[in-house]
Amino acid sequence: MEIVARRLDGVLPGQRLESAMTPGLNVLKTFDPPLHAIDGGTFTGVGRRGKLLLVELATADGEPLTLLTHLMSAGRLQLFDKRGSMRDRTSRVLLRLPEGRELRLREFGTRQAAWIKLLRPDALAEEASLNTLGPEAWPDPPELAPLLASPRPLHSLLRDQQVLAGIGRTWVDEILHAARLSPFKRGDDLSEAEAEALREAMVAVLGRVIDVYEEHVALPLPEKFPKPTRVHAHQGRPCPRCETALEAVFYEDYVMSYCPQCQTEGRVLKDRRLSRLLK
């Protein structure tokens, strides 16, 4: 989301919004102000908080409004030079700009989970999806020991947006590997040195990913982003640090990869999928 916000913030401010439409069913989660309040308005900026995107606009009357956007896992925001076909079934939100250009929120797959909210400043200040977010994991997260002081495993704590905002599953594996910590180590069981190593790994891994995006992601913004992973979903391949074969634990809808040598003192963790089948 960081790179999406940066790219859009580089071109949208000052641009006029001709009209907004929502072909997606129930994609707009607010009704006051109505979506057409931003027709004829002007983009003023694009920012990010956690995995949420904040598209700032001023209405034709100069009223500031924010289009809060959550792409969930299958949504993409792209800025096209031409308008899309109205038959494009992936279209959820269309923001039409002059000269036929269009900022389009598309969502792939059958689940329609992405959403937008159009909020006045007072409603934005009270918006729960923002207010419940933990501090940003990048670029300068606070000291981790107090944040993670909970009996939950690190792999679950780190992707909990209310604990720390902005880390997805993919990067949790990369961060824990970089910090040489077991995904199942409890948050309240971290030594001071481990908590500091984790913080450093978090900043370094997320910084490296953003550097790759900076280099490779350009407008109109891709459908598929590069995934500069070294560990996540690399099970069976050699650990980039010690060359031990990486292992994985499979869950219903994702995989958690780790190095048994660097992270779990040689232990191979139980595969939850397998143990469920054997029950």
Q: Is residue 176 a contact point for Zn ion (CB under 5 A)?
A: no
Q: Is residue 180 a contact point for Zn ion (CB under 5 A)?
A: no
Q: Is the peptide bond before 183 cis (omega within 30 degrees of 0)?
A: no
Q: Is residue 268 a contact point for Zn ion (CB under 5 A)?
A: no
Task: List the one residue from 153, 168, 261, 273 that touches Zn ion (CB under 5 A).
Answer: 261
First CA to last CA across the chain, in angstroms?
40
> In this chain, which stretch among 90-98, 194-202, 209-217, 234-242 interacts with Zn ion, using CB under 5 A?
234-242
Q: Is residue 239 a contact point for Zn ion (CB under 5 A)?
A: yes
Closer to Zn ion at the Cβ: 83 or 241? Answer: 241
Q: Is residue 259 a contact point for Zn ion (CB under 5 A)?
A: yes
Which alpha helices (DSSP H) does the chain contain, by range?
2-11, 121-125, 128-131, 144-147, 154-158, 169-178, 192-216, 260-263, 272-278
Closer to Zn ion at the Cβ: 42 or 229? Answer: 229
What is the spatial distance between Cα 58 and Cα 37, in angstroms, rounded to a whole number?
10
Q: CB neighbours (10 Å) of residue 169? A: 17
Phi then psi for 200, rounded to 5 degrees? -65, -40
Q: Is residue 242 a contact point for Zn ion (CB under 5 A)?
A: yes
Q: Is residue 262 a contact point for Zn ion (CB under 5 A)?
A: yes
Q: Is residue 42 a contact point for Zn ion (CB under 5 A)?
A: no
**3-state SS class at 77:** strand
Closer to Zn ion at the Cβ: 70 or 241? Answer: 241
Footprint of Zn ion (CB under 5 A): 239, 241-242, 244, 259, 261-262
